[in-house]
Amino acid sequence: MKNHYKKFPLVFLIFGIFLIVLISGISIKKYIKTKEADNSKQVSVKKSADSTKENEKLFFNKQEAVSEKASIKVYKKRRVLELYSSDKLVGRFKIGLGRSPEGYKEKEGDNKTPEGSYYICYRNGNTKYTYFIGISYPNIEDAKRGLQKGLINEATYKKIERAVNDKRQPPWNTALGGEVGLHGGGNKYDWSYGCIALTDEDINILKQYAPNGTTIEIYK
């Protein structure tokens, strides 16, 4: 009789071990299924990103003549420059930015690429970066920020304002910096002091189809 009662703890022990193994197995299977679902989502997201890149292929459709309504749009986050002719997209180019690419350019030496509305106001073929196309930085908004922060005085602000209103080159020798534009030299990474860098081949295309006065919108 005593031996019979001694068997009960052993039975309960075996049954308990069985339950633990069973529950652990179910949990592991659930974890594996969850992991597989997460991996599937990640693959889906990657495919979506690859698809977006496919829709933004780099290209250039050669134009018979230079349009009087040429314009340029720069998307800093995407590292892409788009060339338009009479509102028609004719080229998309990969770009590199300044060494500190995020945010507005505020002052000389901050290595930032500007954001805002500008126009081409200067050209120089005598440069080690193949060709330089200068833009109208600082614009009036840049000058306002500089005035508010005490980087420039009222007289300098007025000079910038008059130059921009007259579609001329604004002063490039102020605390806000200057000589910002587009040039060659390569686009593999953000290496410039604030300019928009392209391949030598691409800057040679832009110099033909983006005359002085061409508007340039630079977005985040």
Of 72, 151, 160, 195, which residue is the catalytic one?
A: 195
Q: Find the radius of gyration of the CA atoms of the chain.
A: 30
Buried b (16+ CB within 10 A) or exposed e, 99-119: eebeeebbbbebbbbbbbebb
Of 76, 105, 112, 183, which residue is the catalytic one?
A: 183
* Residue 183 is a catalytic residue: yes
Q: What's CA 102's distance to the chain center, in Å?
A: 8
Q: What are phi and psi of 52, to 5 degrees?
A: -60, -40
| DSSP letter for each residue of 74-95 | EETTTTEEEEEETTEEEEEEE-
* Residue 195 is a catalytic residue: yes
Active site residues: 183, 195
